[in-house]
Amino acid sequence: MNNSRRSGFMKQKRKNHGHSSSKKTASDQQQEGNDVTRREFLGGTGATLVAANTLPLRAQETREGVDIEPEVADVPRTAISITVNGTEHRTEVEDRWTLNEFLRDHVGLTGSKIGCNRGECGACTVLMDGAPVYSCSTLAVWADGHEILTVEGLEEDGELSTLQQAFMEHNAPQCGFCTPGQLMSATALLENNPQPTADEVRHALAGNLCRCSNYNAIVEAVIATAGTGGA
């Protein structure tokens, strides 16, 4: 662009600028409308922010006047008696606690794992009166008066059970996360059927998923304990 053309371009630009400041085009009016809307929006947002800041304070005052955590204090509790691995526990539990929560968080037995927490994977399996149950889907109050066996209860005097030893010898645990649940289901099977076939083992362990897909080794380990009852 030569100098004369640049000069003409700048004059036209100044002219346009002057025009827009003295007379509003439809575009300007629309822009102004947007500005007003934006100002109104920002004003409204500010008011909303103030309200948002005050609401928790009011709620906090209410809580401080009554109870810091009323939602916890108001939870129904029930006195229960559960025998876990041969030891009786007489205690009070919140009605909403699962058996797994009771075992892991309140008895300190962390052997039963939480995989899905919704009755799908079997990692939380424990035995209730000898039968496998998903402890994530069993309330602690439902176990009142029952006997619970967890993976910690399989060993005796520091010795692993025959089934646990077979698991090690057959490399049944890979990451090991499903192992406690597999052991409990297999223990229940061997208790009732000391010499299961491979298909019977697969059927009994169908509710225990292994993300490492080590199913063949797990079945081999259970079969290897045939006749021992797994104890």
- The reply on whether position 189 binds ligand FES by CB under 6 A is no
Q: Which of residues 48-107 bind ligand FES (CB under 6 A)?
A: none
99 Cβ neighbours under 8 A, 6+ residues apart: 126, 128, 133, 135, 136, 138, 139, 140, 142, 143, 148
Quick one: which of 103, 123, 140, 190 contacts ligand FES (CB under 6 A)? 123
Cα 64 from Cα 68, distance rounded (Å): 6
**Continuous segment of H or E residues that includes residue 133:** strand 131-134
Residues 131-170: x where in contact with ligand FES by CB under 6 A, - otherwise, as a string: ---x-x----------------------------------
Structure tokens at 183: 């052991």
Cα 69 from Cα 87, distance rounded (Å): 33
45 Cβ neighbours under 8 A, 6+ residues apart: none
Stretch that binds ligand FES, among 61-69, 147-155, 160-168, 207-215 (CB under 6 A): 207-215
Least separation in angstroms between CB 209 and ligand FES: 7
Stretch that binds ligand FES, among 71-79, 112-120, 153-161, 190-198 (CB under 6 A): 112-120
Contact residues for ligand FES (CB under 6 A)? 114-117, 119-124, 134, 136, 173-178, 210-212, 214
